[in-house]
A = this chain, B = another copy of it.
Amino acid sequence: MKAYDDLLTRYADIRKLGLAGSILMWDQNTYMPPGAVEMRGEQQALIAGIAHERLTSNRMGELIRECSSMKDMSPEQASIVREIERQYRRASAIPERIVKELSGLEPVATQRWVQARKMSDFSIFRDSLEKMLSLKREVAELIGYDDIPYDALLDEYEPYMKSRMVREIFGNLRERLIPIVRSISDAVEPGDESARGDFPIPKQESFFRMILERMGYDFNRGRIDVTAHPFTSGSMDDVRVTLRYDENDIRPGLFGTIHEGGHALYEQGFLKEHYYTPLAEPISLGIHESQSRLWENLIGRSVGFWKAFFPLLQEAFPVMKNRNLEDFHGAINIVRPSPIRVEADEVTYSMHIMVRFEIETELMDGKLDVDDIPQVWNEKYEKYLGLELRNDSEGCLQDIHWAMGAVGYFPTYALGNLYSAQFYDRALESIDGMEESISRGEFSSILGWLRENIHQKGKLHTAEELVEKVTGHPLTEDHFISYLKRKYSSIYGITL
């Protein structure tokens, strides 16, 4: 047990460095003066370097080997050792040369991407992207994989997930989504006037704060700030969300808030006794996204939720006075194929992801050439969403991910949709009167269920195990599809 204790202590320090880094990142995105950007980059690189050095140290390797052969480990201990070993193995696989090349390329590629997107000229970004992809291919080879190189990258964001499984589930999803999207597109779209108008920012701020409080977000261990792109950062006792406000449309701020609130509840939901171990860490980005989307879409865009909050919305904003719940519910659930992922509704969203997933895997396999990305991208948007894109800015240049080296990240967004619906259905079965509670603006039962079944488990299980354990069967698109059919049949008055 001495080795185990030593391992935990060392791991805790690595985690603490990461958390210090996340405060520096938060500061950089909120309050840091612009002239400090170079200094901040140096601080972050140094702290990340120290953490990497400690994680990949020989002593760490020895301790992990010693602990892996321990007898009579509890399931918790076994998971802790497994997860530390996983991180150790992945980090140790990549030599310093590549780490440095990657961190040197990132800002350059990002800058090129910004320019390329601004000019809508893919050629500006092309060389950086090719370089990045070639480095990521090298990383994949070094880490190793069973099936295709992409697996090694996907595994960073969605541990233990295989691209074969993603491909299969995305295939099914696509086949079932296409007719739904088509039927909805043929139906009469709800108007969005009832979500537009004059929404003064200070009022939005206090309204959103009230919603977060009602959701169960702990302001004693968190705070709200404003950024152009909302995000959640930190963990455990310091989990901060950022929001944005549109003075003329309540939706961006509102659903940004509920979405980030869902992420934040996950990070605030770990048990104190697990702090600084993998049992106080999110399982995967997909599971993380399941929490944000469960709150944002399944709860936050439901009629029930607005039964509780629509009167409060009317009270807070005079412009809402003569509007009704039904119209507003339509306005927050408009489905319309559109070129930009981050603006997509929950029905078409997964299609955006499939385009990216297919292109990413083919790029990694060498089946697709960088130069062909724009054309292939546009063809897929035409095929999956019936859209003719006007330029690459609203096409293959819209996302920052590849410029930052995040290849294998995209699928986690769509997986989040699927996980969220599957969890929600199970919660509905388990909790007496859950939707009635939501209609009264009471979330303690659903939050309690999420805490007990998901948040407090940390990385005890893999995502696959967790889904089986919690819902009784493997991940499937069934729940998500049923949810969409149920909901949009009612909103659009059609049979899906």
Interface residues on A, range: 20 to 34
A72 interface hit (Cβ, 8 Å): no
B39 touches A238 (CB 8 A): yes
Closest chain B CB from A235 CB (angstroms): 9
* Interface of A (DSSP majority class): helix
A237 to B20, CA, bound (A): 20
A23 interface hit (Cβ, 8 Å): yes
With A24-B23, A39-B238: A16-B218 Cβ-Cβ less than 8 Å: no
Interface stretch, picked from A43-51, A79-87, A419-427, A484-492, is A43-51
Q: Which of B17, B32, B50, B240 contacts A238 (CB 8 A)?
A: B32
- Segment 7-43 of A: residues with Cβ below 8 Å from B: 13, 16-17, 19-20, 23-24, 27, 31-36, 38-40, 42-43
Closest chain B CB from A401 CB (angstroms): 27
A223 touches B31 (CB 8 A): yes
Could you jot down 21 A-B contacts, CB within 8 Å?
Answer: A16-B43, A16-B46, A20-B24, A20-B43, A23-B24, A27-B27, A31-B31, A31-B223, A33-B220, A33-B221, A33-B223, A33-B237, A33-B238, A33-B240, A35-B218, A36-B237, A36-B238, A39-B237, A39-B238, A40-B238, A50-B50
A23 touches B27 (CB 8 A): yes
Cβ–Cβ < 8 Å partners of A19 in chain B: 39, 43
Cβ–Cβ < 8 Å partners of A16 in chain B: 42-43, 46
Cβ–Cβ < 8 Å partners of A34 in chain B: 220
Interface digits, A209-220 against B, CB 8 Å rule (1 contact, 0 not)? 000000000111
A222 interface hit (Cβ, 8 Å): yes
A236 interface hit (Cβ, 8 Å): yes
Nearest-CB residue, chain B, relative to A275:
B39
Cβ–Cβ < 8 Å partners of A50 in chain B: 50
A236 touches B33 (CB 8 A): no
Q: Which of B17, B33, B40 contacts A219 (CB 8 A)?
A: B33
With A33-B219, A221-B35: A13-B236 Cβ-Cβ less than 8 Å: no
Cβ–Cβ < 8 Å partners of A36 in chain B: 221, 237-238
A237 touches B23 (CB 8 A): no
Cβ–Cβ < 8 Å partners of A33 in chain B: 219-223, 237-238, 240
With A33-B221, A33-B238: A17-B46 Cβ-Cβ less than 8 Å: yes
A19 to B40, CA, bound (A): 9
- Segment 85-119 of A: residues with Cβ below 8 Å from B: none
With A23-B24, A47-B20: A35-B223 Cβ-Cβ less than 8 Å: no
Q: Which of B31, B43, B219, B237 contacts A38 (CB 8 A)?
A: B237
A31 to B32, CA, bound (A): 13
Cβ–Cβ < 8 Å partners of A31 in chain B: 31, 223, 225
A34 to B220, CA, bound (A): 6
B39 touches A236 (CB 8 A): yes
Cβ–Cβ < 8 Å partners of A35 in chain B: 218, 220-221, 237-238
